[in-house]
Amino acid sequence: MRKLALNLINKHKRQLLSTGKIAAIVFLVFSALLFFAGPPIVKSFVAKKIGEEIGRKVDFGAVNINPFTLSTTIRNIAIYEAPTTGKNACYK
Q: What tens digit of pLDDT does each residue of 31-66 get?
A: 898 889 889 988 889 889 999 999 899 998 999 988
pLDDT at 29: 93
pLDDT at 42: 86
For residue 62, what is the enclosing H or E element? strand 62-66
pLDDT digits (tens, 9 = 90+) for 11-21: 666 776 788 88
Q: What is the largest CA-CA distance in the chain?
A: 87
For residue 44, give every residue at least 6 positions away whose Cβ sits within 8 Å of its Cβ, in sequence order, or none: none
Average pLDDT score over residue span 77-89: 72
